[in-house]
Structure 1
Amino acid sequence: MSAEKNITRKDVAEKAGVSVSVVSRVLNNSGYVDKEKKKKIIKIAEQLGYIPNPIAMALQTRRTYQIIFFCNDLTGAYYNQMYHGMAKTAKERGYHLLLQKDYDFESVKKILADGIIFPTENVAQDYAETVGKNYRLPTVTISFDPSAIFAKPMPSVVIENQKIINASIDYLIQKGHKKIGMLLPFDYGYANSRYKAWKERMKMESIFLGGGVETNYEHYIINCGKPEEENKKKDYRYLGPYQSESEGFVYYDLFKVGYEAANLYKSSKYKATALICFNDDLAQGFIAGLQAIGLRVPEDISVMGIDGIFTRNHFKPKLTTMSIYPERQGAKCVEVLIDMLEGKKYKYMNYSPYGILEGETVKDLK
């Protein structure tokens, strides 16, 4: 048949040697048709390039080739890059990625999809303990906590914060730094694991490094969290004072938090020679804030981020950061989920890579 011709059900029926009404019953999933005959008709329809009603075909094949990604904010470069990694990999494997901006888990019952991806273990746990108890869609999550336990087993792409923080501290020590602090937007929720890893390591360094490192290593923490947010700690949906607005558009703004933290550093009694920032957005804002009050990076203080997002290419000095490759994380989530859907082998624990991206914001004290 000509490639230009619009394929109809009559064409499928003629090729299959059945009536048009039988083809219609198969493609509409209405009425009885022998199982083997169904398979034959669907295969012929695909070969001829017949474009059916997608809902009817999804019911017939039990596959929609659609994946849901729950993420309430793509304004930050980290999740934006992760999303692009997901979308690219999904397309390569014949799937389409659907974004659900809020965490209305009930919505999955109204969406034709084959599986779900979550941005953190907290979101995944909430789903598993509610809608996920009785709704059997395959799920995968990004996890910042390797010890996370879900109501039902769930494959994870794990960001190993302890190793990431230790590698960051190792790098700074190699550059001659001993007074290594941390800049946090808050010390709870998803920032807590990085804070705890820093605290555990610096406790050891305060014992073994010596040479001017004060016993109370926590003097070098700059915590931007506010006491009145204490009762909001366990609610991952809550953005607290970290929102900004532009033309009516509300977004999560850690750059602003970092910018304002520069004055906290300037007024602090104990000054670190290097600060590891919770993420790159916070680090870039902090550097801009320091520059605004006349402090130089890295001459007056060294600054290091965590994430490795593309925006570092647009700032001066260029940020030194511990990259955790968000695009690769997203791609891996999709790969694992589709492998599950297609009955292929997959791992429950998939560890995300990390590595130093050197820039211009860390001074070599040696």
Structure 2
Amino acid sequence: MERKSVTIRDVAREAGVSVATVSRYLNNSGYIGKASEEKIKKVMELLDYKPNEIARGLAKKKTNSIALIIPDIKNPFFPELVVAIEDVAKSKGYSLILVNAEHEELQNNTFWRTFQNRYVDGFIIASFQFSDKMRDELKGLNIPFVKIDRAADGDSYNSIEVDNYMGAKLATEHLIEIGCKKIAHVSGLPISKPVIERMNGFVDTIRPHYPDKEILTYEGDFSLESGMKVTKQILKEHQDVDGIFLGNDLMALGSLKQLQLLKKKVPEDIAIIGFDGIQLTQMVEPEITTIQQPIYEIGVMATTNLIDLIENKSTELMKMVLDVQLVKRGSTIGFRGNKE
């Protein structure tokens, strides 16, 4: 026989107090006499009463939940980020809602209103360019938010980013230092600051070294498939390319796969380098050289600061820019190229 669930009314009746008194006890709001408090506590233990946390959250219009909005759950960068965010959220008594959303969805008022109706306490936003329309919509909801990754725009409003420009310079300089003579860059879609900064870092580094040569930039979409497709296009149009800097690691993995299909030796014939520092770059042969972001630190800082905003422990975040580092691996070490 199924056990009947115990309700707040059952607790009130057994304790000889009103439902309102039990509610005040559960929510720690308002005065309750010591005797009544002890009765309620004992009855709850006797009846094994567990308050409905969701209902309590809705009643208080606070659910201790935060939403992480990302553009592509298939990209291993984001699951690695989730680990850090969830670690911090759990330690502070918050749950995480993971939302995979396209750029167009974020421009829709209904998208944001749905979260207001669910009383989500805050957002960590990593999806594409953070537009003025999105900012105004979130301000209207009066829900705190922090921007990271592709949404980080470098202003002074709740933004945590990495030094994408310097990362691109490090990547490009490394390819030049190992002897690459003709280097191409594959960017993501140029609608976010990180993509544009990585491209600018590449162009500004290449130009002084090869002032008379064409600067080769191609556009991907941060997917493995685009890394394969664009790499094939590069070699079709420029057979003498001997170095490729890809705007993220997932495209670099695609590039490696395509080069192997084309019977090109990496790094002997062509050196490749990615950007992000995801663990998957160490699980292929050769391992891929990358510009490593502090992924876990980004997640920790974003979550900690968001919860501080939610709990009124701080006001707006100032702009935060974290350092990146070059991690040299097999996809560039051992490059031979054309010996002139």
Query: What is the TM-score with the length of structure 2 in the denominator?
Result: 0.78
Q: 1 CA distance for matches of 2:261 and 2:322?
A: 36
1:25/1:188 CA distance change after superposition, 3 Å: closer
Q: 1 CA distance for matches of 2:324 and 2:87?
A: 21
- Which of 315, 320, 330 is equivalent to 1:350? 320
Task: Name the aligned partner's letter for residue 206 of structure 2.
Answer: M
Q: What residue is the counterpart of 2:306 in the other structure?
A: 337
Q: What residue is the counterpart of 1:168 in the other structure?
A: 171
1:313/1:359 CA distance change after superposition, 3 Å: same
Q: Secondary structure at 2:66's aligned position in 1?
A: strand
Q: Is the CA contact 2:289–2:331 (under 8 Å) kept in the aligned structure 1?
A: yes
Q: Is the CA contact 1:121–1:142 (under 8 Å) kept in the aligned structure 2?
A: no
Q: Is the CA contact 2:130–2:152 (under 8 Å) kept in the aligned structure 1?
A: no
- Which range moves more in the overlay, 51-60 or 317-326? 51-60
Q: How much has 1:109 moved relative to structure 2?
A: 2.1
Tell me the number of residue pairs that the alignment of Structure 1 and Structure 2 aligns. 317
1:145/1:90 CA distance change after superposition, 3 Å: closer
- Which of 137, 146, 158 is equivalent to 1:140? 146
Matched, 1:290 2:276: no
Q: What residue is the counterpart of 2:93 in the other structure?
A: 94
Q: What residue is the counterpart of 1:35 in the other structure?
A: 30
Q: What residue is the counterpart of 2:197 in the other structure?
A: 193
Q: Is the CA contact 2:67–2:122 (under 8 Å) kept in the aligned structure 1?
A: yes
Matched, 1:118 2:113: no
Q: Is the CA contact 2:150–2:192 (under 8 Å) kept in the aligned structure 1?
A: no
Q: 1 CA distance for matches of 2:143 and 2:198?
A: 31
Q: What residue is the counterpart of 2:242 in the other structure?
A: 273
Q: 2 CA distance for matches of 1:83 and 1:115?
A: 15
Q: Secondary structure at 1:97's aligned position in 2?
A: strand
Q: Secondary structure at 1:122's aligned position in 2?
A: coil
Q: Secondary structure at 1:100's aligned position in 2?
A: strand
Q: Is the CA contact 1:303–1:361 (under 8 Å) kept in the aligned structure 2?
A: yes
Q: How much has 1:13 moved relative to structure 2?
A: 6.6
Task: Name the aligned partner's letter for residue 157 of structure 1.
Answer: I
Q: How much has 1:214 moved relative to structure 2?
A: 5.2
Q: How much has 1:62 moved relative to structure 2?
A: 5.2
Q: How much has 1:56 moved relative to structure 2?
A: 4.4
1:34/1:350 CA distance change after superposition, 3 Å: closer
1:156/1:258 CA distance change after superposition, 3 Å: same
Q: How much has 1:10 moved relative to structure 2?
A: 8.6
Q: How much has 1:34 moved relative to structure 2?
A: 8.0
Q: Deviations over 1:106-127 (max 9, x none)?
A: 2112212211111146246442
- Which range moves more in the overlay, 191-200 or 57-66? 57-66
Q: How much has 1:188 moved relative to structure 2?
A: 4.7
Q: 2 CA distance for matches of 1:73 and 1:344?
A: 32
Task: Name the aligned partner's letter for residue 92 of structure 1.
Answer: S
- Percent of residue pairs identical: 20
Q: Secondary structure at 2:96's aligned position in 1?
A: strand
Q: 2 CA distance for matches of 1:76 and 1:34?
A: 45
Q: 2 CA distance for matches of 1:273 and 1:77?
A: 27
Q: Secondary structure at 1:134's aligned position in 2?
A: helix
Superposed counterparts of 1:60-99, under 5 Å: 63-99=62-98
Q: 2 CA distance for matches of 1:122 and 1:12?
A: 51
Q: Deviations over 1:70-125 (max 9, x none)?
A: 22421111122112221222112211001233342221122122111111462464
Q: What residue is the counterpart of 1:54 in the other structure?
A: 53
1:327/1:126 CA distance change after superposition, 3 Å: farther
Matched, 1:216 2:213: yes
Q: 1 CA distance for matches of 2:121 and 2:33?
A: 22
Q: 2 CA distance for matches of 1:186 and 1:128?
A: 21
Task: Name the aligned partner's letter for residue 167 of structure 1.
Answer: L
Q: How much has 1:332 moved relative to structure 2?
A: 1.9
Q: How much has 1:322 moved relative to structure 2?
A: 0.6
1:7/1:128 CA distance change after superposition, 3 Å: same
Task: Name the aligned partner's letter for residue 311 of structure 1.
Answer: L
Q: What residue is the counterpart of 1:235 in the other structure?
A: none
Q: Secondary structure at 1:89's aligned position in 2?
A: helix
Q: Is the CA contact 2:189–2:219 (under 8 Å) kept in the aligned structure 1?
A: yes
Query: What is the TM-score with the length of structure 1 in the denominator?
Result: 0.73
Q: Secondary structure at 2:331's aligned position in 1?
A: coil
Task: Name the aligned partner's letter for residue 329 of structure 1.
Answer: I
Q: Secondary structure at 1:91's aligned position in 2?
A: helix
Task: Name the aligned partner's letter for residue 216 of structure 1.
Answer: K
Q: How much has 1:163 moved relative to structure 2?
A: 1.5
| Unaligned runs of at least 5 residues, structure 2 | none
Q: Deviations over 1:171-207 (max 9, x none)?
A: 334434454331235445463332122112322x23x
Q: Is the CA contact 1:320–1:361 (under 8 Å) kept in the aligned structure 2?
A: yes
- Which range moves more in the overlay, 98-107 or 176-185? 176-185
- Which of 324, 327, 330 is equivalent to 2:293? 324
Q: How much has 1:292 moved relative to structure 2?
A: 0.8
Task: Name the aligned partner's letter for residue 330 of structure 2.
Answer: E
Q: What residue is the counterpart of 2:332 in the other structure?
A: 362
Q: 2 CA distance for matches of 1:303 and 1:293?
A: 15
Q: Secondary structure at 2:296's aligned position in 1?
A: helix
